[in-house]
Amino acid sequence: MPITAAGRFFIDETGRRRILHGVNLSGASKVPVQPPGATHLPDSLDDPRNASFIGRPFPLDEADEHFARLKGWGLDFLRFIVTWEALAHAGPGCIDEAYLDYLSAVLEKAHAHDLLVFIDPHQDVWSRFCGGDGAPAWTFAAVGLDINRFSETGAALLHQEQPDSFPQLMWANNYTRYACFTMFTLFFGGREFAPQLQVDGQNIQDYLQGRYCAAYSALARRLRGLPNLLGFGSMNEPSGGLLGLPDLRSNDHAPFKLGVMPTPAQAIFLANGFAQDCLDFGLPLVDRLPGQTKPARIDPQGATVWRDGVDDVWRAQGIWDVDKAGQPRMLRPSHFARADFLQDFLKPFVERFASAIHAEMPDAQIFIEAEPMGPPPNYDAIDKLVYAPHFYDAVTLFTRRFHPQLNVDFFSMRPLLGEAQIRRHLSKELGRFRHYADDVLGELPIVIGEVGIPFDLNGGGAFKSGDFSRQAQALDYSLRALDDHLYSYTLWNYSPDNSNARGDQWNGEDLSIFSRDQQADPADINSGGRGLQGFVRPYARKVAGDPQRMRYDRARGLFTFTFKHDSAISEPTELFVPNLAFPAGYRIEVSDGEYEVDSEAQRVLYRHSGKDMPHMIRIVSNAPVPKELSPWGKLMIAAALALVVLALLRRMLRR
């Protein structure tokens, strides 16, 4: 491996500590090329067994263009999206060998551009066929579910049903819908909670997990000769489904309440043909305050989600039944309460997956994560682990609005006033991942696997004006908080076929740092980039010792990095210093030693003196520094924003 883990950092073959900045490639890899899989297309779910993902993330003849752009932006670390469906859409055990050939060729191109890669087995709400991406259609058939009945029974919300009116992030509502939570519960807990459900002589859990692991093992076998492949993630944002829920009659467990949300019990009844009166939570901070609801009725009119002749798996387990009056009744609402999803179900799955990957690639790093913002399991039987959680500024993500002086702590609903308070909050939230790691995982590297912002902020005005400065500022807030903790990260995301009209081609999301619609000059590597000043930033790429502090003040054009050297390392410290961030040039100040600048390669090499001292390097823009607001001016802005917050709260309460 070109890079291995040692304590909190990656190290290269020279012993230098590595801080990795990169990107997810790509958001559009969630959907097939053929048939055209963009989720706003009503027929995009047709003919699932004959789908092809060859050409995701881009046609092979475009690889050099995109990889050169990412390299020029300092993003030389790829979280490479590969769904289970892309590998095995044709049926259980049927691997798309042509797609493996394509992936091998693309990643060889990445190696030629000196880009490091890890494979992300991506999923959202289980599968495209229940509103997300990930698992192939045949997984539902194995359980007995009919994908053509999901919409009418409320078992899933599909963008295909509302191509022009699907609310932002409404796809996440599917975690509380029947198709998604049933598949996750069976995938992780079928042996314990559905022991009679057998497929080809195996319990459904072993059947599904075995085929999942086999698909990614086949990919590892094909790619194991690539020197730039660091390893594999185990599963993007895994969900426990019903596992651990204290009461199926309540939605109190849901971290985010979006739109019409049946309780798990109601979702089960709906999937079996019984109308239910549910609650509509709307979009928090968009059209109502958290906790405000209105009634909503869902009526499947007797239709069920099951294929003909198949009975509901949860009724078979005695969790619910129909009473003498013909009405559904929950018999065991706490049936899943005793389950510890992290330790008893997620952990053994990841151990099984890691074992399968290590059988093909013994030195592969395993990039682990858990449910968003939650702690990971306590792994004690896997080595070569990297912790790869996700982080988003929730208010900016949900509302598609950003103000540099106003935000909200999404969990406590406490207003955050002023840039300093917002930055402290973001940094504190990101610090929880190191606490999680220290508590249950020990010393290991952290890569924030997803971080980003919606580029259609404030109604998408930047698409017409070409001014993405607000997006750059929003990104800078999050990335500066990441630098506070010296985390590596991969931005979400780079979608080569992003468009202003349809975003990343998936559920209306628009988080791509690149779009052809903004590309005025194909010969200019920066043309098409969005919010470049936010993410094309200096950083310490290779450090001859232990990093201590890294900070980039974009407004002042000032970068500062401090480290303690390791006397066993003879190679210099290398910093990426993008010309884009310093258009007027820059000067360098060092605490000791010497440096050399390679502007063409956007690189500064620093050789410390060897003295037993913290070594510091400062990069200072030659551009004039803008004047800061006086304390009185900042106070006036904070007061005005407080009045704005109160006015918004009053307006939402009146609604």
Alpha carbon 118 to its chain's center: 14
The total of other beta-carbon atoms located within 10 Å of residue 319's CB is 22
Q: What is the DSSP string of 289-349?
A: -TT--EEEEE--TT--SBPTT---HHHHTTSEEE-TTS-EEES-TTTTTT--IIIIIIHHH
CB 174, CB 130: distance < 8 Å: yes
Residue 504 and residue 511 in contact, taking contact as beta carbons nearer than 8 Å: yes
Inter-residue contact 369 to 342 (CB < 8 Å): no
Look at residue 176 and give its three-state secondary structure. Answer: helix
Would residue 450 show up in a list of annotated catalytic residues for this protein?
A: yes
Determine the Cα–Cα distance for residues 425 and 435; give it in Å rounded to an integer.
16
Look up 360 and say whether it is catalytic: no
User: Of residues 371, 429, 450, 574, which has the active-site annotation?
Assistant: 450
* Residue whose tokens read 């975690």: 175
For 102, residues 6+ apart whose C-beta sits below 8 A from its C-beta are: 54, 55, 60
**H or E element: which one contains 116?**
strand 116-122
C-alpha distances (whole Å) from 142 to each of 92, 183, 202, 205 are 10, 10, 11, 11
Neighbours of 368 (CB within 10 A): 26
DSSP codes, 589-635: EESSSEEEEETTTTEEEEE----SS-EEEEEEESSPPPPPPPHHHHH
Using CB atoms within 10 A of its CB, is residue 244 exposed (0-12), middle (13-18) or buried (19+)? middle
- Please tell me the chain's helix, strand, coil percentages from 3-state DSSP, rounded to the nearest 5: 35, 20, 45
Dihedral of CA atoms 104, 107, 108, 110 in degrees, nearest 10, equals 170
Distance of CA 616 to the CA centre of its chain: 33
- Burial state string for 7-40 with b = 16 or more CB within 10 A and e = fewer than 16: ebbbbbeeebbbbbbbbbbbbbbbbbbebebbbb
Which listed residue (237, 369, 371, 419) is catalytic? 237
Length of the chain counted residue by residue:
655
Q: How far apart are CA 388 and CA 233, in angstroms?
A: 8
Identify whether the C-beta of residue 242 lies closer than 8 Å to the C-beta of residue 127: no
**Strand residue runs (E) in 353-431:** 365-368, 385-387, 406-409, 414-417
> Which residues on adjacent β-strands are paired with residue 259?
none
Pairing mode, if any, of strands 229-233 and 116-122? parallel
57 preceded by cis ω (within 30°)?
Answer: yes
- Residues with a catalytic annotation lie at 237, 450
